[in-house]
Structure 1
Amino acid sequence: MFENIEFANPQFFWLLLLLPMALLWYFFKRKDEVASLKISSIKGFSVKNIASQLRPVLFALRLLALAAIITALARPQTEDISTRTKTTKGIDIVMAIDVSSSMLARDLKPNRLTALKEVAGDFIKQRPNDRIGLVGYAGESYTKTPITSDKSIALSALKEITYGELEDGTAIGMGLATSVNRLKESKAISKVIILLTDGVNNSGFIEPNTAADLAVEFGIKTYTIGLGTNGNALSPIAYNPDGSFRYGMREVKIDEKLLEEIADVTGGKYFRATDNEKLEEIYDEINKLEKTEIEEFKYYKYEEKYRPLILLAGVLLLIEWVLRNSIFKSFI
């Protein structure tokens, strides 16, 4: 009966101290409850009255009724809590991913592009309340998927990103500008671009600084990531006769100054990822920096449980009254 029960007014349980006091009173006063007859001797009388021996049952019934009433005053109740969450600060995020041939370099395992896709996929899964879009760029840029709240679409599009969809090159300005274009009409309170590259701007007809100014105009923050180890990396350097890449050591060139300028002017931050672990740490840090505010509403439903106790007390008192005026009725 009292499973998962809470009491709204537990202070009434102090009244239970009256019960032992009542027991003491009854112990010393019980003989005064019935009339007595004094005679010199009861020799010859048969005095086997079971009713008189069971008379304390009446007082026990009163005590039980009083205990039930006190428990009812404490208001036992069950509590049902339902919650509803509301996103009070949604974030729209576009991930601009370099898909040039250098992203096939093997300084990250198994290569830069595959490592990025794995880490970016985990990042998307950790943003259940935000909209995510994907932009790919090499010698030019394109929208892989517009911003969407459907994470399955974003994750599927991320898996499909591969080298060879665009002319080779690194058009950082184009990638950034396309990302800005995806976000400029967004009504989200916070708009973010995560731009990743492993090279220097050498293609496209939009300068990176011009694209950064557009991001500032539309209130879009840009986090930039330079991907690649320090020194040389095993990278594609030519084609084999069968069309596959021939790999060789090539110097890693990243325009870190440009990436720092883009991040600084737009209010973002620049990161350098030299291995798989560092890349994961960077996305974890961005995930912490860009927090979506969630407002949680709790609805409480209380169901009072005192009524059965009041009914029980009433039944006990009724039984006590009936017994007192029938079986235990005194005619003396």
Structure 2
Amino acid sequence: MFEFTWAWVFLLAPLPWLVRALLPPADSGEAALKVSFISELEGLSGRRARVRLPALRQQLPFLLVWALLLLACARPQWLGEPLPMPASGRDLLLAIDVSGSMDYADMRWDDQEISRLGLVKHLMGDFIDGRQGDRVGLILFGSRAYLQSPLTFDRQTVHTWLDEAQINIAGPQTAIGDAIGLAVKRLRERPAESRVLVLVTDGANNGGEIDPLTAARLAAKEQVVIYTIGVGADPEERGVFGLLGFSPDIDLDEPTLTAIADATGGDYFRARNSEELLAIESTLDRLQPVAQKPTLARATQVLYPWPLSLALLLSVLMASQRLWPQQVQRWRHRLTRLRGQA
């Protein structure tokens, strides 16, 4: 089916004539013979002066360019047949902690030390890629919580935005309650049986405006199931940090994370290393999809480049037609002058 996205653009068709009528005529700088008694001549002959046909022919290319530009601006497009979108799946939001403590390299991946956020990117990225049929969204939180990606079937883009997440991009603190509150706001309009939040953090709530348990009760009321994941190695496995007896930021608040999961019907997982996080990913992959209201989408093919290209080509031809004779004449003058000097 053919249609124009912005059909109202055609209302601008009289614009050149309005501009010509409102603005004073341009001064070409050339001498011109003005006949002041044209009206008397028309009265004597009984005929009105008409615009010469060559003048109309000269205007036709400009009119055609203007029509093509209007056509392109109206954004013509061809809509394909309605195609069914996936009718089953979950609405899954990932809330990833990007506070300063997630930068500590107390985890291991392929026998190399890696930061907590780096490990989460590796494994949760694979988890996103495997959520076929699910709408996936991404929340990044630190001192504040921000929606990085709304719920979408475009898992590749969500994966890319997770890979581009930077430490402290949302502030150095940890606002778990705000992240849950933002997730509830985004999930409450989706089918009740499909609302899932996976929250990944390595600390305790020390920022934001909403208490985590209060946010969890709100999530339970809105039937949002929360799976919480606590990231971070045990003190004896923290390498240099463990030897120094240093615990990055504030130690993981496992009781609160467990209470959040229990209040919403989810589970709490502890990820001390890559093997445990892989096992958690496998567990989450077993979430069964649920039936949702089928949706239809149409494949759209934009057609505006065609009239726009024709308008550009015609403009180039018109410009070359005007400039080329002048350039040829200049070359002839130069050749004549060179011959005279010779």
Aligned to 1:291, which of 288, 293, 296? 288
Q: Counterpart of 2:172 in 1: which secondary structure?
A: coil
Identity between Structure 1 and Structure 2 (%): 37
- Report the equivalent of 2:328: none
TM-score (norm 1): 0.56
Aligned to 1:265, which of 251, 257, 263? 263
**Alpha-carbon distance between aligned partners in 2 of 1:293 and 1:117, rounded to the nearest angstrom:** 27
Q: Counterpart of 1:144 in 2: which secondary structure?
A: strand
Q: Which has the higher helix share?
A: 2
Tell me how far 1:207 sits from its aligned partner: 0.3
Counterpart contact for 1:93–1:191, Cα < 8 Å: yes
Tell me how far 1:155 sits from its aligned partner: 1.1
Aligned to 2:188, which of 176, 184, 208? 184
Per-residue CA shift, 1:194-231, capped at 9, x if unaligned?
A: 00110111111100011101111211100001101112
**Alpha-carbon distance between aligned partners in 2 of 1:235 and 1:264, rounded to the nearest angstrom:** 35
Judging changes above 3 Å, is the alpha-carbon distance between structure 1 residues 167 and 86 closer, same or farther for their aligned structure 2 residues? closer
- Report the equivalent of 2:153: 149
**Alpha-carbon distance between aligned partners in 1 of 2:289 and 2:134, rounded to the nearest angstrom:** 8
Q: Which has the higher strand share?
A: 1
Q: Counterpart of 1:223 in 2: which secondary structure?
A: strand
Tell me how far 1:126 sits from its aligned partner: 0.9
Q: Counterpart of 2:170 in 1: which secondary structure?
A: coil
TM-score (norm 2): 0.55
Letter in 1 for 2:281: Y
**Alpha-carbon distance between aligned partners in 1 of 2:283 and 2:156, rounded to the nearest angstrom:** 23
Q: Counterpart of 1:142 in 2: which secondary structure?
A: strand
- Report the equivalent of 2:246: 250
- Report the equivalent of 2:95: 96
Tell me how far 1:87 sits from its aligned partner: 4.7
Tell me how far 1:189 sits from its aligned partner: 3.5
Q: Which has the larger radius of gyration?
A: 1
- Report the equivalent of 1:4: none
- Report the equivalent of 1:50: none
Tell me how far 1:274 sits from its aligned partner: 0.2
**Alpha-carbon distance between aligned partners in 1 of 2:201 and 2:177, rounded to the nearest angstrom:** 11
**Alpha-carbon distance between aligned partners in 1 of 2:239 and 2:144, rounded to the nearest angstrom:** 24
Q: Counterpart of 2:148 in 1: which secondary structure?
A: strand
Judging changes above 3 Å, is the alpha-carbon distance between structure 1 residues 224 and 217 closer, same or farther for their aligned structure 2 residues? same
- Report the equivalent of 2:39: none
> What is the aligned residue count?
201
**Alpha-carbon distance between aligned partners in 1 of 2:165 and 2:157, rounded to the nearest angstrom:** 13
Runs of 4+ in 1 over 4 A off after TM superposition: 84-88
Judging changes above 3 Å, is the alpha-carbon distance between structure 1 residues 235 and 166 closer, same or farther for their aligned structure 2 residues? farther
**Alpha-carbon distance between aligned partners in 1 of 2:268 and 2:147, rounded to the nearest angstrom:** 23
- Report the equivalent of 2:130: 126
**Alpha-carbon distance between aligned partners in 2 of 1:188 and 1:225, rounded to the nearest angstrom:** 22
Judging changes above 3 Å, is the alpha-carbon distance between structure 1 residues 280 and 85 closer, same or farther for their aligned structure 2 residues? farther
Letter in 1 for 2:208: G
Q: How does 1:1-332 map to 2 (within 5 A)?
A: 87-109=86-108, 110-187=114-191, 189-231=193-235, 233=238, 250-251=246-247, 253-288=251-286, 290-292=287-289
Judging changes above 3 Å, is the alpha-carbon distance between structure 1 residues 235 and 136 closer, same or farther for their aligned structure 2 residues? farther
Q: Counterpart of 1:152 in 2: which secondary structure?
A: helix
Aligned-CA RMSD value: 2.4
Counterpart contact for 2:192–2:224, Cα < 8 Å: no
Q: Which runs of 5+ in 1 are unaligned?
A: 1-83, 237-247, 296-332
**Alpha-carbon distance between aligned partners in 1 of 2:195 and 2:239, rounded to the nearest angstrom:** 36
**Alpha-carbon distance between aligned partners in 2 of 1:218 and 1:226, rounded to the nearest angstrom:** 24
Counterpart contact for 2:224–2:264, Cα < 8 Å: yes
